[in-house]
Amino acid sequence: MRISHKSRFTTLVGAAALVVASLSAVPAHAAAVGPICDAKVPVQTCQGTTADGAPYVMMVPANFNGMVALYSHGYRYNIDIPAGIPVVGGYKVTNTPEPVPGGNPAVANYFLSQGIAIMGSGFARQGWNLDSAIATNAELIDTFKKKFTKTTKVVAWGSSLGGIITQSLAEKYPTLVNAVAPMCMADNISAELTTAGDFLWGLKTFFDPTIKGGNYSAGAAGNAEALGDIVKVLTVMGKLQAGVATGAWPDSSSATGKALAAAGIPSRSALLLVGLMSGLPTQSAHFDSISGPEGALKLTFPLAVSPALAVLENGANAAILAILATQDVELQAGGSVFDNSTTDYAARVADSSVIYNAALSGNTAVTAMLGALSPANPGAPRAKATAKLTALYATTGKINVPTIMMTGVADPITPAGATQRIIDKYVDQYAAEKEAAQKASYGTTSYQTPKKQLLAIWSVTPKSWTTFDAAGAPVTTAAAAPGTNHCNFTTANYLTVAKFLVDSGKTGTLSWNAAAMTAVRKSKGLLVDPEFRAPLLKFYGE
């Protein structure tokens, strides 16, 4: 990471980076070690491992005011990915601790300059590690308090998988934290893997029947199968991209796909259907589904082509994680976990097939494609799970402490619906709390409306953002639009959440006043709107 030499914490953050690097080789399941601190001023760095072998780092300013911020990083692949694999080739498994999002020095400096300590763990295992991460974080909080006995407040935040780790920590151990901020939060594993499984199954059924998409073997054989699937999926994505304008189907398409091609249905329509039935956003980093190039395609491009290109871009971003997460969780559960044996895909797209009717090539094409996905078609065999995920922790959505949530409205990996599920749960929770308070005050004058404990901040997209070159081709080299891609937040966005988190940790309540509204507005790209509602993940039948 790059650090400004103008910061007075330059050497401190740099020292932390060195500490973190040295921890990456710590073996799992080692005995608890540390914290071992360097005693430097104005900020000392401490390192160690928890009882499960998870490496951690702490940074504590000399003017420590009693508050510590615990950060939980997101999903990391749990197998090495060879250099020859497209997009992510050359990845090596790491358990490097991350005390602030992405090692962001401005965020670290904000906390440290306020007298607030920061810390984070690399966790004992990578991949889907919700259960072990909760235990690691609980132990890490206890370790910090024993070392720094003046600790009075603990706030926790995290991104992606780290977001659900943070929410789960507050659910299971509400007395350990004073406020939390789950960002771009993942949903429960069943919901996430349903999205992944539906998308992979759709690609397999239409475009390449050799994609395994789940039910991977154990050990090295399973790793090879998963890596092979990554190559196949990305290859298919490339062929679909090349055929967007003409509607050509990949040469690897199944007999089912080829029959649809012979019926004159363009491949982009089938791709869009796969995206809609799995719940991928129809807006992406470079495609807003609104804009068109000047000329003959001004209206037809956003109507008929852009939604499919958005699914293509979102799917390419999500597919690698979908494959590796599926393989990882299957190993934890002891068998295949995706099951669409009773899924009604026609019901899944009943509304969206009307909205995107033109891009799906009309009612006749929609009927043909849904028929091809029917269990009655032997060319579209359904998947049946052989294992259950009941042993893995699932969030209840209970809000126990002040909670700030931030997510992108078009995040393709942890969809906004994951955050919406918690919001919906809290609506019911708050109504019950009000009713209980009213009953408790009957016959008295002591009724007080319960304080609201949840603030949802949406990272929203601009009005439009697709641009075109002189030939009318869409430009895909620009930075991703706000509200799109995964955890696509600016430093200003992170600092806004951090300040809400610190204030809530100090006071024990959320403050949504004129100053808070101004802070969100100045952060740019963020919105607090009680009327906005994101659709839940398809797992929930919405």
Rounded to whole angstroms, the Cα distance separating 483 from 195 reads 19
CA distances (Å), origin 444, targets 318, 353, 437, 440: 55, 55, 11, 9
* Joined tokens for residue 210: 């050799």
Handedness of CA 511, 455, 310, 92 (dihedral sign): positive
- Count CA atoms within 13 Å of residue 164 on its CB side: 27
Residue 499's φ and ψ, nearest 5 degrees, are: -70, -40
Residue 284 and residue 309 in contact, taking contact as beta carbons nearer than 8 Å: yes
Classify the phi-psi angles of 508: left when phi > 0, otherwise alpha if psi is within -120 to 50, otherwise beta: left
Which residues sit opposite 455 in a β-bridge? 404
Residue 17 has pLDDT above 50, yes or no: no
Query: pLDDT band for position 511 (50/70/90)?
Result: confident
Per CATH, the homologous superfamily of domain 10-188+394-452+486-540 is Alpha/Beta hydrolase fold, catalytic domain (3.40.50.1820)
Q: Which of the pair, 533 or 6, is modelled with greater confidence?
A: 533
At residue 81, the pLDDT reads 93
Query: pLDDT band for position 27 (50/70/90)?
Result: very low
CA distances (Å), origin 92, targets 77, 83, 102, 330: 8, 10, 17, 21
| 155-177 pLDDT, tens digit each | 999 999 999 999 999 999 999 99
Residue 476 has pLDDT above 80, yes or no: yes
Which residues sit opposite 474 in a β-bridge? 468
At residue 443, the pLDDT reads 76
Rounded to whole angstroms, the Cα distance separating 284 from 476 reads 10
Average pLDDT, the chain: 92
Residue 12 has pLDDT above 70, yes or no: no
Query: pLDDT band for position 31 (50/70/90)?
Result: confident
Residue 441 has pLDDT above 90, yes or no: no
Residue 33: Cβ-neighbour burial (10 angstroms; 0-12, 13-18, 19+): middle
Q: DSSP string of 157-218?
A: EEETHHHHHHHHHHHH-GGG-SEEEEES----HHHHHHHHHHHHHHHHHHT-TT---S-PPS
Rounded to whole angstroms, the Cα distance separating 249 from 226 reads 24
Helix or strand or coil: residue 416?
A: helix
| 275-321 pLDDT, tens digit each | 999 999 999 999 999 999 999 999 999 999 999 999 999 998 889 98
* Joined tokens for residue 514: 């004129």
Residue 445 has pLDDT above 90, yes or no: no
Query: pLDDT band for position 489 (50/70/90)?
Result: very high
The percentage of residues in the chain with a pLDDT greater than 90, rounded to a whole number, is: 86
At residue 30, the pLDDT reads 54
Predicted TM-score of the model (pTM): 0.92
Numbered ranges of CATH 3.40.50.1820 in the chain = 10-188+394-452+486-540
